[in-house]
Amino acid sequence: MPTRPLRVLVVDDSALVRQVLCAIIDAQPDMQAVGTAGDAAAARSRIAALAPDALTLDIQLPGMNGLDFLRELAGGPPLPVLIVATPTEAQAQVVQQARALGACGVLPKPRLGVAQGLQEEGEAICQALRQAVQAAGRVRAEAGPPAVAPAASGPVTGRAPLSARTAAAAAAGGRGWRGERLIVAGASTGGTEALLHFLAQLPPDCPPVMAVQHMPAGFTRSFADRLDRHLPLQVSEAQDGQTLLPGQVLIAPGSHHLAVRRGAQGRLEAILLETAPVNRHRPSVDVLFDSAAGLIGRRASGVLMTGMGRDGAAGLLALRRAGAATYAQDEASCVVFGMPREAIALGAAARVLPLGQLGTVLMQDLADAAASG
């Protein structure tokens, strides 16, 4: 039985670029350009009407630019986005922001000879789109049906306010685990969806979670809001001095490192640091992991997911050496098998698991530890 073609929406303000990209896509036996848009408003309506599998997106768009539109897309159902944009010195930071917001890749648009240049890069563009859709499908397949299926069922409705949810989780006393526990997690490229699926596996009364997702300042709050809309957990951007509670997830702000400390009342609380970047990142996963290893050691659980580079690998090793349970996402379910690979090479990961099993196995390990005393 023939497989349905991969359906792509092309978003670019240049009519020539739209025409060339559509011709490249339509020339592929397994792909189809289902529509085009010259600005964000048109793209928004085309996405709603056509339900594409992926889209190509230019950064320089009239009205709302591509980066702001990508930020808007991050608040909805997952949709693989390939940036095809003209590289300029000023755009280097914008490209990094696009990756942090979940863009699956960034390919350069030729400054001169656009039509010929795009045709020469046609195979690379199509292969990047295929890989992006395959990775997104693999993440969803590995994750299985999440506790709250964000793409299908939309935001969680009819639930208690955040304060009530936190109070209820705290009153539950941490079913399946006991004592002072903390889950720390880190991710980069591909992590926006990976974190969503990981957190969807955790029960509403899970230990507090602190997470670092490499993302620029100004974008982490909307990311946290998106997670909060789709999960039964309380998710928010971390604030300095915030007490950690069961059923709560704190996302590191894009401008600060996130760490854990013991407050005046003896409770665990978040601390935000404006110290220098670590591994070229602020927030850095290593900073969070190192703080948890030093403060609570074996009572922590560390999870390192998809991402480029090595941030978090040394911190996960510190956690394991401190007696914490440590987990790394496996290569098959990663969008980019960089950070987990580095951690595995260091011997930092006690368990290497598909994304769809990370949260479930972690909670089972906590339950087993509680049962054994």
User: Which residues are marked as active site?
Assistant: 188, 214, 311
User: Quick one: which H or E segment has residue 237?
Assistant: strand 234-237
Say if residues 114 and 62 touch (Cβ distance below 8 Å).
no
User: End-to-end alpha-carbon separation of the chain, Å?
Assistant: 54
Q: How far apart are CA 321 and CA 297, in angstroms?
A: 8
Residues 6+ apart with CB under 8 A from 71: 101, 219, 222
Whole-angstrom CA distances from 273 to 24, 96, 220, 306 are 47, 22, 16, 24
With CA atoms as reference, report the closest residue to 274 among 240, 225, 307: 240
Q: 141 — phi, psi (to 5°)?
A: -65, -45
DSSP state of 176: T
Alpha carbons 296 and 122: distance in angstroms, whole number: 51
What SS3 state is found at 183? strand
- Nearest partner of 86 among 116, 106, 63, 100, judged by Cα: 106
The amino acid at 272: L
- Please state, as a whole number, how many other Cβ atoms lie within 10 Å of the Cβ of residue 77: 13
